[in-house]
């Protein structure tokens, strides 16, 4: 199984256009690499010319990220190598890229019914994906259901999350609002969990079982945005379990078996800075910090 991290940042990436926190400034000054919003590509084999790729997450820059990676170049007949796109939730950093992937290829999207409805209902821009009858094939998947797709066995696992900001109080929260995806293939289990608001038995099970898990590295502190002077919203209200502290996710990740890789890392998170105390704690726990272009063979 070949895995490429195309994007490792949270919403807005690093540097974020309107932010001058330590992480954003470090990225602007070339001290740390810039990060696009979270997006991971997986191929069942070595990702050679005949193989399709799964795309986990469709951030606004998805088309650019795919276009510039040589391993995902289009086939000679001009068809895309993206065999399916898996969405965890309806946040814009998961879905906006569907509109950027509009140039006439057929897209096969998988998400829960709630995420599908949230994107397609009352969204005029979604009609840009109706250029031909088969341009958009969107399969709604029930949490827990196992399905075959390309060379993979996929499952969406309900994990604590939230309704996307733009849907606000127009829909009722449900267990379908946010999932982690598991991708089984060639005896390996890869998990993609960029948004996990809190621990649950299902999250523990995922951490026990996965050979490689991409896990929510959005925030270190529960009140990180307030500390950075960027608003009052807390990490958990935004659907993210912070890494640090006695109840933090790093403790759970430290106990996990496989490779644990932080993804969806917000620009305010001190783990982005290589000389921070928080980065040392992460490394001591045996946990990796994803960067754009990171490649893994499992
Ligand atoms: Zn910043």
- What is the model's pLDDT at position 120? 97
Q: Between these two residues, 67 and 78, which has the higher pLDDT value?
A: 67
Distance 7 CA to ligand 1 centre (A): 16
Structure tokens at 92: 């814009």
DSSP code at position 170 = G
To 5 degrees, how large is the angle CA 69–CA 71–CA 76? 105
- Residues forming beta bridges with residue 110, ordered by sequence position: 86, 139
Burial class (CB in 10 A: 0-12, 13-18, 19+), 209: middle
Percent of the chain past pLDDT 90, that is, above it, reads 92
Distance 274 CA to ligand 1 centre (A): 16
Distance 85 CA to ligand 1 centre (A): 28
Distance 91 CA to ligand 1 centre (A): 19
Contacts of residues 20-28 at CB distance under 8 Å and 24 or more positions apart, as own/partner, are: 21/228, 21/230, 21/267, 21/268, 22/270, 22/273, 23/267, 23/268, 23/269, 23/270, 23/272, 23/273, 24/267, 26/272, 26/273, 27/267, 27/272
- What is the model's pLDDT at position 128? 94
Distance 69 CA to ligand 1 centre (A): 26
DSSP three-state, residue 181: strand
Whether the predicted pLDDT of 106 surpasses 80: yes
Distance 277 CA to ligand 1 centre (A): 18
Exposure class string for 128-148: b at 16+ Cβ within 10 A, else e: ebeeeeeebebebbebeeeee
Whether the predicted pLDDT of 136 surpasses 90: yes
pTM: 0.97
Question: For 72-93, how does the pLDDT look when each residue is reduced to its tens digit (9 = 90+)?
Answer: 988 888 889 999 999 999 999 9
Distance 200 CA to ligand 1 centre (A): 30
Distance 288 CA to ligand 1 centre (A): 21
- What is the model's pLDDT at position 78? 80
Please choose, from the candidates 107, 237, 85, the residue with its C-alpha nearest in 3D space to the C-alpha of residue 173: 237
Whether the predicted pLDDT of 229 surpasses 80: yes
96-105, 179-188, 254-263, 271-280: lowest mean pLDDT where?
A: 96-105
Distance 156 CA to ligand 1 centre (A): 31
Question: For 11-65, how does the pLDDT look when each residue is reduced to its tens digit (9 = 90+)?
Answer: 999 999 999 999 999 999 999 999 999 999 999 999 998 899 999 999 999 999 9
Task: Give the number of other CB atoms < 10 A from CB of residue 86.
Answer: 25
Whether the predicted pLDDT of 104 surpasses 80: no
- What is the model's pLDDT at position 169? 84
pLDDT level of residue 254 (50, 70, 90 thresholds): very high
- What is the model's pLDDT at position 29? 98
Distance 15 CA to ligand 1 centre (A): 6
Write down the mean pLDDT value for the chain: 96
How many residues in the chain? Answer: 298
What is the distance between the alpha carbons of residues 291 and 228, in angstroms, rounded to a whole number?
22
Distance 114 CA to ligand 1 centre (A): 31
Supply the DSSP string of 206-235, one letter for each residue: HHHH-SEEEEE-S-SSTTHHHHTTS-S--T
Distance 49 CA to ligand 1 centre (A): 38
């Amino acid at each position: 199984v070949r895995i490429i991290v195309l994007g490792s940042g949270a919403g807005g990436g690093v540097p974020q256009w309107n932010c001058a926190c330590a992480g954003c400034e470090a990225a602007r000054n070339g001290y740390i690499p810039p990060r696009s919003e979270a997006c991971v590509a997986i191929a069942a084999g070595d990702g050679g010319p005949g193989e399709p790729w799964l795309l986990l997450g469709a951030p606004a820059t998805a088309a650019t990220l795919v276009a510039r990676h040589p391993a995902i170049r289009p086939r000679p007949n001009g068809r895309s190598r993206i065999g399916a796109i898996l969405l965890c939730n309806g946040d814009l950093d998961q879905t906006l890229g569907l509109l950027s992937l509009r140039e006439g290829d057929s897209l096969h999207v998988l998400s829960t019914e709630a995420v599908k409805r949230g994107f397609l209902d009352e969204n005029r821009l979604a009609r840009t994906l109706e250029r031909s009858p088969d341009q958009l094939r969107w399969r709604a998947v029930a949490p827990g259901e196992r399905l075959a797709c390309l060379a993979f066995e996929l499952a969406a696992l309900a994990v604590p999350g939230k309704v996307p900001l733009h849907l606000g109080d127009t829909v009722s929260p449900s267990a379908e609002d946010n999932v982690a995806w598991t991708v089984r293939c060639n005896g390996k289990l890869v998990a993609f969990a960029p948004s996990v608001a809190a621990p649950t038995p299902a999250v523990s099970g995922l951490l026990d079982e996965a050979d490689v898990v991409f896990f929510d590295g959005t925030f270190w502190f529960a009140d990180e945005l307030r500390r950075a002077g960027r608003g009052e919203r807390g990490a958990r209200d935004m659907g993210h379990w912070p890494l640090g502290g006695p109840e933090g996710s790093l403790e759970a990740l430290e106990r996990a078996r496989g490779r644990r890789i932080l993804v969806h890392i917000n620009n305010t998170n001190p783990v982005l800075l290589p000389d921070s105390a928080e980065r040392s704690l992460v490394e001591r726990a045996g946990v990796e910090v994803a960067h754009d272009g990171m490649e893994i063979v499992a």
